[in-house]
Amino acid sequence: MTGASEPAGLLTEVDHVAIAVNDLDAAVAFYEQTFGARVVHREVVEHDGVEEALVKVADSYIQLLTPTSEDSTVAKFLAQRGEGLHHVGFRVADCAQALQAAQDAGVRSIDQAPRPGSRGTTVAFLHPKSAHGTLIELVEE
Ligand code: CO
């Protein structure tokens, strides 16, 4: 059942599954050696205090994340929970529109407005406490 007030299909693809790791090179080697996967992009994202390696899977990515500073949220995540699933990025056509729709639906957002993400994307994060325990990133390519 779809209510008349629900927005129509804002999520167009699973953009990436983000996994926090202690050693980026070791994690990359794991995906290469275990699955024959290939890293297609690597970037330090200063704003978030992380370095990422993107492993391409069909039209999506596995985003391996490691902290570059002790006060990054990923460093805190690793200290508290250890390695593992950190967030899921959903692709959207228009990040501002999707963020507004989520806010209008009463979802708490971490970003109040869209901001630059890695590889030239525009992103916004929604709070896991508002999203059944999953940190959600809205990604506009
Ligand atoms: Co991400």
How far is the C-alpha of 61 from the C-alpha of 138, rounded, in Å? 14
How far is the C-alpha of 107 from the C-alpha of 129, rounded, in Å? 9
β-partners of residue 29 are: none
pLDDT (0 to 100) of residue 8: 76
pLDDT (0 to 100) of residue 52: 97
Per-residue pLDDT tens over the stretch 73-101: 999 999 999 999 999 999 999 999 999 99
> Which listed residue (51, 86, 87, 140) is catalytic?
87
Q: Is the pLDDT of residue 3 over 90?
A: no
* CATH for the 11-140 domain, from 3.10.180.10, 1.10.287.3510, 3.30.300.30, 3.40.50.300: 3.10.180.10
Clarify whether 137 is annotated catalytic: yes
CA of 137 to the centre of ligand 1 (A): 6
CA of 34 to the centre of ligand 1 (A): 23
> Which listed residue (51, 86, 137, 140) is catalytic?
137
Q: Return the DSSP state at 109.
A: B
Clarify whether 63 is annotated catalytic: yes
The domain spans of the chain are: 11-140
Per-residue pLDDT tens over the stretch 102-121: 999 999 999 999 999 999 99
Contact status, residue 60 vs residue 12, Cβ threshold 8 Å? no
